[in-house]
Structure 1
């Protein structure tokens, strides 16, 4: 487990891997306590994971960058796979935990068809009912992050035992896409699953949340952003990530995040280390602090 604190006491982050029995479906736990004194905005970039957020104190206001006129406020939320970015805002005070999951594990733990919480943000109370309220109360009553993460291990192990199983062929298909960062041909994955194309697409969307083509699109975006952030030339990053050319890469990044890659990465470089500057997945660019 890792804990990072501001000496001035304005923020604290904790991160831990789950119990081995929950791996690889449950990817990471993240805890946070913010007392910044000023509102904060963060652009949530499409990523190949599902996030369950449980706030003990404070709420998040979320807006789809494609539709600025619609915003929702949540204490508990579930964010499935998305092909567009979300702008998250809070008043500077926030205290809670995030559970980062593979989509197929989220299907089992949440017990719902994943298209119900993909391409949107859903209040976790609507999906989990009293389960999330009881978990939030129990987590908030613990005084140390280690105790909270241990409670998550116990609770999620119980949920997994009582939840619907994801077909192994869907887990295999997800792994094929993830292994190549979305560059594997969908037709090859569908044929390898042993199902017909229509059956494969139906099952993939039910258990993962989006069509296989959309999942691959998200993975290619993440690979391209990582390569660009490492200093790779745009043409090289585009080719290595499965885009036709640099123009195609620029269009996709702009469409999916609301910002061209140069502007997105410039904003990321300007963000000082500290609260909100940490990505929820290693090797991914999952969020960018943006000025109000």
Structure 2
């Protein structure tokens, strides 16, 4: 396959150096596979990030250094490569300051095809992708090693295109109706009512819910919550006020938006947007969705900091 156009952003400062390489997958893999992001960090101190729910599944193929991922009420996982399906709760990822790998974002229904695992078994979980069935014929750790050995990001993304195309072609076929319903939710920012969505795909609400849980992981109502939150974060990052954002995204009022925001990110909208402006936040390329506000840089564990995202509470919230 022809390599995709790669956009590389890099920088260096007192805290260390960073490089992000962004590219789209080969057209044959779209619309299921959304994006590739190459990462290379050489920071002077450990890094912690608060990651908020997004409307996508994430496959991280690490080249060497592990990351530790924590969620409220769960045992932390330390892994080199990571798969995470759709979530409704925040997570904190941390590493020792040096990290490299490739992150693949995909629609949840595409992850169902690639792994063949009912996605509801993976909701709000972080797993080693080698623990999931797939059709590459070798451990994903070997693919990650092969990617790391290549001389440039364009070559790595081309190899990934080939591997994922073979994997998809040998995978579990998903439902076109589920993919269409998911696309409708994404297109409307989660605003389309579930009964109307079911009617448009020709299913009853209960059947739609069952198929969503199998191939998306979340039910359509929960998926719509995540997509509304995602749109709200984007609008807030663009400078819109909380009240206007709430109205545009279909929340009942400003209090409803604030409650949903706190439940799924651990921060209020005001805390999140203010924290994004603090010194030490990395560039937009560090966010999982290109051009969107999906994460916050947190202080190392030894810092005594009580701002948003400082720690997980017993209630499952952050801050």
- Is the 2:281–2:297 Cα contact (8 Å) retained in structure 1? no
CA distance in 1, matches of 2:279, 2:196: 41
Kindly indicate whether the alpha-carbon contact (under 8 Å) linking 2:284 and 2:291 is maintained by their aligned counterparts in 1.
no
5+ unaligned residues in a row in structure 2: which ranges?
1-5, 301-319
Encode CA deviations 1:222-244: one digit per residue, 9 max, x unaligned.
11111112121211111111111
Match of 2:308 in 1: none
> What is the CA–CA distance in structure 1 between the aligned matches of 2:283 and 2:293, rounded to whole Å?
15
1:229 aligns with 2:237: yes
User: Which one is further off, 42-51 or 229-238?
Assistant: 229-238
The 1:275/1:180 distance shift into structure 2, 3 A limit, reads closer
SS in 2 for 1:270: coil
> How is 1:165-184 mapped onto 2 (pairs within 5 angstroms)?
165-184=173-192
Q: Structure 2 CA distance, aligned partners of 1:275 and 1:180? A: 27
Closer, same or farther in 2 for the Cα pair 1:271/1:107, shift >3 Å? farther
- Counterparts of 2:149 and 2:283, CA distance in 1: 23
Within the candidate set 2, 6, 9, 1:4 is matched to 9
Post-superposition offset of 1:211: 0.6
Distance 1:192 1:14, change over 3 A: same
Say which of 85, 89, 92 aligns to 1:87: 92
- Unpaired runs of 5+ residues, structure 1, are none
Alignment partner, residue 59 of structure 1: 66
Matches within 5 A, 1:213-252: 213-252=221-260
1:71 maps to what in 2? 76
For 2:117 and 2:111, locate their aligned partners in 1 and report how far apart those are by CA, in whole Å: 8
Task: Compute the displacement of 1:70 (Å).
Answer: 2.7
Deviation at 1:271, TM superposition (A): 4.7
Q: TM-score, normalised by structure 2?
A: 0.86
Q: Greater share of helix residues, 1 or 2? A: 1
Report how far residue 246 of structure 1 moved: 0.5
Distance (Å, rounded) in 1 between the aligned partners of 2:165 and 2:287: 25
- CA–CA distance in structure 1, aligned partners of residues 215 and 43 of structure 2: 38
CA contact (8 A) 2:284 2:290 kept: no
Q: Is 1:153 aligned to residue 161 of structure 2?
A: yes
Partner-residue secondary structure (3-state), 2:132? helix
User: Relative to structure 2, which stretch is displaced further, 276-285 or 110-119?
Assistant: 276-285
Instruction: Give the aligned partner of residue 119 of structure 1.
Output: 124
TM-score of the pair, normalised by structure 1: 0.94
**Pairwise CA distance, 1:134:** 2.1
- Paired with 1:133 and 1:89, the residues of 2 have a C-alpha distance of 20
Name the counterpart of 2:44.
37
Deviation track 1:91-117 (CA, whole Å, cap 9, x = no partner) reads 101111111101111111222221222
Once residues 161 and 102 of structure 1 are traced to their aligned partners in structure 2, the CA distance between those partners, rounded to angstroms, is: 16
Measured after TM superposition, the shift of residue 210 of structure 1 is 0.7
